[in-house]
Structure 1
Amino acid sequence: MNHLGKTEFILNGDMKKVIIVLSVPIMFNNLIQTLYSLADMYWVSKLGSIEVASTGFVWPVLFLILSIGMGLTIAGTSLISQYLGSKEKNQANKIASQIFLVAIILGLILSIIGYISTPYVIKLMGANSQLYSYSCKYLSIMFLDIPCYFIFLVFGAIRQAEGDTFSPMLLNIIGAITNVILDPILIFKFHMGIGGAAIATIISKVIYMPYVIFLLFMSLERVHIPIKFLRLKRNLILTILKVAVPTCIGQSFSSLGFIFLNSFIVSYGNDTMAAFNIGNNINSIVMMPALGIGTALASVVGQNLGGNRIDRAKLAFKTALCLSTIILVIGGSFLFLFAGNVIKIFVPEAKDMEVIIQGKYYLKIISAGLPLMGIFQVLIGIFQGSGHTIYSMIMEMGRLWFIRLPLILFFKNYTNWGSPSVWYSMMISNGIICLIGIIIYYKGAWQKKIIKMTNTC
């Protein structure tokens, strides 16, 4: 199906089929990325526990930087999809060109600043000795990947706005396979250690970057980047920032919130932290369909709002909500019934019985609330797709900073529930924020097209 057929499909096709066709490649891509991360961690773990700790230690720093690129991605998907729904491809090309320019400039600036400041950032985070050395080496190299990462995010945003979720998935698979192959070669064959893992990540993106650039500039029948539009336009940049900045803030503060959450969890002991990490890895696999549906929903809502098909945008939301809820009720029921068996796959029973006990309890509680996470992802998808990212920012920040963390503090100081209080806080915060999101949805402000704010210059 070509891009015009995709737009027609999104605007007029059977909605269940639309959501499923667009979300399946995203789900598969998320699965590939998860398997790649596990393989990557496997090879790094062969070096030692400090090397593994170093990659996890610097991840919040990387995520804070990457959230800026993710904000551009969401802005691009929202704006471009609405212009495509309005049959204004030329305007979509202009937005694509501006996002590309901003991504290049920001990517280079953040890469240089990050590379230079890495030792100071790691020291400020409290690392010393070998953890400091390995973290500096890994993070400084990973900062060199930022420009390529941002460019690929722009490509993904453009293709997703068109309804093409397959092309980004295919390139990600190529990159993941390349990375897995290069990891042992660079880490052990060339004796690069943890630096080899970072270099493998960069090469896995650089290898297909020329093809991505070619598609961005030369796919003339699709949304592309005409050379004549490669000049910064103040009014378009401001429009992009109005959509991107709330997303960047929401995701950045969400990342910081999870850092604080980890500090509360680890205060209950290493067994609790281990149970939380294992449970989250299991939970992330079950959550993949909901994440895919929420991401796919953004382009469906964007195109239908652009085409003044508000009723169809609402239908997309309700369809996505039903599909996500059904899938997570089934997945959650399975986890609830077999929590102990699933945990034992990842934990040796003879060595870590306490981790198994806590992990089983956590998995049962969190599995009962999985449908709430599906509702959360669908709400995020509709607010991001409509371009009213201030609402998704409210949900992301509010869930952690204004509900979950205060609840954890309250339960820790005024109850004797122990570590289960963290799990209860997580489920309660998900329920409250979903209720707030539903109220925002029914108020209807998200239905206003954001492309009215742009000029046609």
Structure 2
Amino acid sequence: MFNNFIQTLYNLSDTYWVSQLGSDEVAAMTLVFPVIFLILSIAMGMNMAGTSLISQYIGSNQEDRAEKVASQLFSFLLVLSTILGLGGYFLTPTIVSLMGGQGNVLLYGSQYLSIMFLEMPIIFMFIVYNAIMQGQGNTFTPMILNVAGSLLNVVLSPVFIFGLGPLPFMGIQGAAIATLISRSIFVGYGIYTLFIRKDGINIRKKYILPDFKVLKKIIKVGLPASIGQSAAAFGFIILNMFVLSYGDSALAAFGIGNRINSVVMMPAMGIGNAIAPIIGQNLGADQIPRARSTFKTSIAMSTTFMAVGGLIAFTFSESIIKIFASGDPQVIALGTDYLRLISLSIPLMGIFQILNGTFQGSGHTMYSMFINMFRLWGLRIPMIYILGRVTDLGADAIWYSMVTSNFLICVIGMGIYLKGNWEEKIIDEEDLDELKTDASKKALAS
């Protein structure tokens, strides 16, 4: 939770400093963020695969296989992120233009996104680090690195945005450069430690060269999650285009509201991340009742936190929005309406995060893919289109559609959970047979 809290503070810090430049800059950052999320969704899917496989291998006492997964995940995502980052960098203006960016929004969006594409290998490597550590149940060390990087970014952002001493004014591009520098330092250190540590599951040089059997398993588990996250990210691109059709102020309000919403969502996201290795290790050890108990406890904790956070956000919505709206009355009005309405559905998002964590930890990422995709493409976007056509709600049609889609997907997700298929392990009998063979050989040797 604390890790997510610091990450959210970093996001809010960026939003605050960029908002001092103007609403066009905030709108530009909001417009291009789903593109960043779209690329990261590939790594996030593989992160889920790494966490679930590593945790289940640990639960069944197969540490060597866990290290193979860790090492293959590292080399695969390093190559992939380099290709995606360089390709995106050269295509940035075209991408922003295709999303509907014009004038200042096109200019500022391109400046910000081009630097973020260069950061892709760094972000991918931190996701690899998280997967390896989280699969072992260690969320403390990644938190330390993330806190250090985020705090450094908070310091560097205004320096690079507005200039200081020999540094010139860089505007929104400075925000991206500050993030790149901050993350590079601490992510580099984290990956370095995975090569030199002797204890726990780490990256081993002997396993870095492609092992297509292991890669196939990682991709098999991770691809559905990546598709689900990618479809969700693309859905948010379409959603941003709907919002942009109501004006730059609506998009700026949407972006500010989402950043504030992410603060309230912090506990649920933390719990959702935490249960993934717990679910995975218990399924690996055939402790299904404990996995079920983890889910029930997490639901109770998450909804309680979300109800309290939602009440606070609803009560102080206008005051909070004013901090980031640069005095723009239209952004304040639209942002307040959005934050008040979305606050009512925040407890539902707590349930959604726990369902995601459960399906990801069990390795049944097809279910995670489905609820992520269907929430946007099956429910939210069609509702936005219909309400926009048959009502005069304006931008409120988007906010109402978001609340309704959150409720319906939680009902559907609970139905999938109660069916019970997620309780089956993803490490197959071949893995267990090889483990028994290795144990027999060691026994004979001794």
Distance change in 2, residues 1:261/1:116 (3 Å): closer
- State the Cα distance separating 1:108 from its structure 2 match: 1.7
Alpha-carbon distance in structure 2 between the residues aligned to 1:371 and 1:41: 25
Percent pairwise identity? 50
Range with greater deviation from structure 2 (293-302 or 111-120):
111-120
Alpha-carbon distance in structure 2 between the residues aligned to 1:155 and 1:431: 33
- State the Cα distance separating 1:329 from its structure 2 match: 2.2
Aligned residue for 1:208, secondary structure, equals: helix
Distance change in 2, residues 1:181/1:417 (3 Å): closer
Task: Read off the aligned partner of 1:445 and give its amino acid letter.
Answer: N
- State the Cα distance separating 1:314 from its structure 2 match: 0.4
* 1:320 has 2:294 as partner: no
Task: Read off the aligned partner of 2:139 and give its amino acid letter.
Answer: T
Alpha-carbon distance in structure 1 between the residues aligned to 2:54 and 2:85: 27
- State the Cα distance separating 1:70 from its structure 2 match: 1.2
Match of 1:65 in 2: 39
Match of 2:196 in 1: 218
- State the Cα distance separating 1:248 from its structure 2 match: 1.4
Alpha-carbon distance in structure 1 between the residues aligned to 2:178 and 2:192: 23
Query: Does the CA contact (< 8 Å) of 1:239 and 1:454 recur in 2?
Result: no
Query: Does the CA contact (< 8 Å) of 1:236 and 1:454 recur in 2?
Result: no
Range with greater deviation from structure 2 (137-146 or 64-73):
137-146
1:125-164 residue pairs with structure 2 within 5 A?
125-127=99-101, 131-164=105-138
Alpha-carbon distance in structure 2 between the residues aligned to 1:229 and 1:327: 42
Match of 1:191 in 2: 168
Query: Does the CA contact (< 8 Å) of 2:27 and 2:248 recur in 1?
Result: no
Task: Read off the aligned partner of 1:66 and give its amino acid letter.
Answer: L
Aligned length: 429
1:38-53 residue pairs with structure 2 within 5 A?
38-45=12-19, 50-53=24-27
Match of 1:247 in 2: 225
Aligned residue for 1:224, secondary structure, equals: coil
Query: Does the CA contact (< 8 Å) of 1:239 and 1:453 recur in 2?
Result: no
Aligned residue for 1:222, secondary structure, equals: coil
For normalisation by structure 1, the TM-score amounts to: 0.85
Match of 2:399 in 1: 423
Distance change in 2, residues 1:271/1:150 (3 Å): closer
Task: Read off the aligned partner of 1:450 and give its amino acid letter.
Answer: I
Range with greater deviation from structure 2 (30-39 or 335-344):
335-344
1:83 pairs, out of 49, 57, 70, with 57
Alpha-carbon distance in structure 2 between the residues aligned to 1:221 and 1:34: 31
Range with greater deviation from structure 2 (136-145 or 217-226):
136-145
- State the Cα distance separating 1:51 from its structure 2 match: 4.6
Task: Read off the aligned partner of 2:349 and give its amino acid letter.
Answer: M
Distance change in 2, residues 1:52/1:261 (3 Å): closer
Query: Does the CA contact (< 8 Å) of 1:235 and 1:454 recur in 2?
Result: no
- State the Cα distance separating 1:37 from its structure 2 match: 2.2
Aligned residue for 1:231, secondary structure, equals: coil
Distance change in 2, residues 1:178/1:237 (3 Å): same
* 1:392 has 2:368 as partner: yes
Aligned residue for 1:423, secondary structure, equals: helix
Query: Does the CA contact (< 8 Å) of 1:290 and 1:374 recur in 2?
Result: yes
Alpha-carbon distance in structure 1 between the residues aligned to 2:205 and 2:283: 29
- State the Cα distance separating 1:271 from its structure 2 match: 5.7
Range with greater deviation from structure 2 (317-326 or 247-256):
247-256
Structure 1: gaps (5+ residues): 1-26
Query: Does the CA contact (< 8 Å) of 2:12 and 2:260 recur in 1?
Result: no
Match of 1:92 in 2: 66
**Superposed CA RMSD:** 2.7
Alpha-carbon distance in structure 1 between the residues aligned to 2:425 and 2:201: 20
* 1:365 has 2:341 as partner: yes
2:272 pairs, out of 294, 302, 316, with 294
1:446 pairs, out of 378, 403, 422, with 422
Alpha-carbon distance in structure 1 between the residues aligned to 2:15 and 2:326: 19
Match of 1:4 in 2: none
* Deviation readout 1:283-342 (Å, 9 max, x if unpaired): 222111111111111111111111111110000000000111122222333444555555
Query: Does the CA contact (< 8 Å) of 1:82 and 1:451 recur in 2?
Result: yes
* 1:257 has 2:257 as partner: no
1:411 pairs, out of 387, 401, 405, with 387
Distance change in 2, residues 1:300/1:145 (3 Å): same
Query: Does the CA contact (< 8 Å) of 1:287 and 1:374 recur in 2?
Result: yes
- State the Cα distance separating 1:183 from its structure 2 match: 3.0
* 1:401 has 2:386 as partner: no
Aligned residue for 1:451, secondary structure, equals: coil
Match of 1:329 in 2: 307
Task: Read off the aligned partner of 1:191 and give its amino acid letter.
Answer: P
Alpha-carbon distance in structure 1 between the residues aligned to 2:416 and 2:369: 12
Query: Does the CA contact (< 8 Å) of 2:19 and 2:26 recur in 1?
Result: yes
Match of 1:106 in 2: 80
Alpha-carbon distance in structure 2 between the residues aligned to 1:130 and 1:355: 17
* 1:171 has 2:145 as partner: yes
Alpha-carbon distance in structure 2 between the residues aligned to 1:364 and 1:132: 30
Task: Read off the aligned partner of 1:116 and give its amino acid letter.
Answer: F
- State the Cα distance separating 1:53 from its structure 2 match: 4.3
Query: Does the CA contact (< 8 Å) of 1:78 and 1:385 recur in 2?
Result: yes
Alpha-carbon distance in structure 2 between the residues aligned to 1:122 and 1:409: 22
Task: Read off the aligned partner of 1:39 and give its amino acid letter.
Answer: S
* 1:376 has 2:352 as partner: yes
Range with greater deviation from structure 2 (255-264 or 381-390):
255-264
Query: Does the CA contact (< 8 Å) of 2:116 and 2:176 recur in 1?
Result: yes
Query: Does the CA contact (< 8 Å) of 1:160 and 1:299 recur in 2?
Result: yes
Distance change in 2, residues 1:132/1:425 (3 Å): closer
Query: Does the CA contact (< 8 Å) of 2:19 and 2:325 recur in 1?
Result: no
- State the Cα distance separating 1:205 from its structure 2 match: 2.3
Query: Does the CA contact (< 8 Å) of 2:99 and 2:237 recur in 1?
Result: no
Aligned residue for 2:428, secondary structure, equals: helix
Aligned residue for 1:450, secondary structure, equals: coil
Distance change in 2, residues 1:192/1:248 (3 Å): farther
Distance change in 2, residues 1:136/1:275 (3 Å): closer
